[in-house]
Amino acid sequence: MTLALARLAADAVLYEGYLLYPYRSTAAKNQVRWQFGVLGPPGAAEAGVGEEPDLAVQCLLRAGPGPVTVTVHLRCLQLQRRQAERAHADGTVEEVGELRAGDRVWTTWDEAVAVERELGPVPVDELRRGVDRTVLVPGGEDVEPVPGGRLVRRRGPLRAAVSLRADDDGPLLRLEVRVANTGDRVADRDAALASSLLGAHLLLVAGGARFVSLLDPPADARAAAGRCRQHRCWPVLAGGGGQESEVVLASPIILYDHPAVAPESAGALFDSTEIDEILTLRVMTLTEEEKAAARATDPRAATIIDRCDRLTPVELQRLHGILRDPHPALTGDDWWAAEAAAPVSPETDAVLVAGVRIARGSRVRLRPSRRADAQDMFLAGREAAVSAVHVDLDGATHVAVTVDDDPAAELHDWYGRHLYFAPDELEPLVGTPDVDQREETPP
């Protein structure tokens, strides 16, 4: 059951970016696809024609009393180039970008085939010695006759090396899995893409043991978790919940432990970083001509268009306004009622920073260190005024500020649009007004 749940989330990872709204081959954003988990052939990254060839993940296992095994599921997409060919009366065929027959249209397009290879179960004794396996995915060619011509689908072969190793780390076992594309070197981007592992990720299944969370490790695993190193992916626990699980998803996309597909989601949209409701409404705005072009691009796009066209008002409403309890341990009143009952007042609360009381009206210099936002680098060293001190439900403090030389600072403060920093990212400017002084200052 845990593996089945993990596959649902893993499929979203596998097809992330496969085809983007507005789902037409002519759309600019669909000219550069396959953005996550691409393992290019050797030398492609150095030559500037492809991605790096490998990924590596380290995770922690807590062994049970019996034999321990690990099974690795390597999953990726294999590029499949679909070429439309027009048939002529003399028996020859001509490659074309688009083939039309009546109201039917077929376009030349890059599809992909899902690939999964299972390695294992591998006993822990073999893991300690190190295990190396070769994965081969054959190429192929398929021909589909269509009115007025044919569609030819071609796939190049893939070759990869998978290595597994386990070492003791105190009471835990540290597992390392490496995957490297070992295909032939290529000279251009098209060839590199054809021989790349696309959307590559791993599902790791433990037998007789449980994986430990690296995002929220138990107390006895924190030091070992800090020693784990990742390369181009990150391991998250799959399944129901808790700090341990028998399945890990090593994903090239940032996820929390126990990722899950929302039950309200009617099907894949290949834009997992977007919101189902927004994308569905956007699809509904497409003209009939645009929908026809999307259907001609890819069968999966046709499925999306048809599903959105059939969506009932009740099904659409299910996508809107869903609220899930982030703190199921709280009982009785709703979690937001617990927050409302807490003695917090952002307008008057204060926090000590380097021994200095910081509250509304205080002056600070920004020292961003957590890189929560790409704009942080532009704010380093800037002076700002504190607007409020907030405490979230987890007890963390967030200081709201407006930057001094922002021409819209007064407007932002008026309608509550602020920048937020942790206390340790602020440097108090001693001698500037604090909250009490601000209130006493005449207008």
More confident residue, 395 or 276: 276
Tokens 């081969």 sit on residue: 136
Least confidently predicted of 177-181, 223-227, 261-265, 424-428 = 261-265
For residue 140, name the pLDDT band (cuts at 50, 70, 90).
very high
| pLDDT beyond 70 at 432 | no
For helices 276-284 and 299-310, give the axis angle rounded to 10 degrees: 90
pLDDT tens-digit series, residues 76-117: 999 999 999 999 999 999 999 999 988 889 999 999 999 999
The side-by-side arrangement of strands in the sheet containing 419-421 is 419-421, 397-403, 383-391, 363-366, 426-428
* Cα dihedral across residues 115, 119, 121, 127: positive or negative: negative
| pLDDT beyond 80 at 327 | no
Q: Which residues in 300-355 belong to E strands, given as ranges?
A: 351-353
What b/e string do you get for 274-312 counting C-beta neighbours within 10 Å, with b at 16 or more? eebbebbebbeebeeebbbbbbbbbebbbebbebbeebe
Domains of the chain: 2-313 (no CATH), 341-440 (2.30.30)
**Residue 7 CB contacts under 8 Å (≥ 6 apart), including other chains:** 203
For residue 326, name the pLDDT band (cuts at 50, 70, 90).
low
> Are the beta carbons of 143 and 95 closer than 8 angstroms?
no
| pLDDT beyond 50 at 336 | yes
What's the average model confidence in pLDDT over 273-296? 90
pLDDT tens-digit series, residues 244-257: 999 999 999 989 99
The pLDDT of residue 359: 94
CA distance 77 to 237: 23
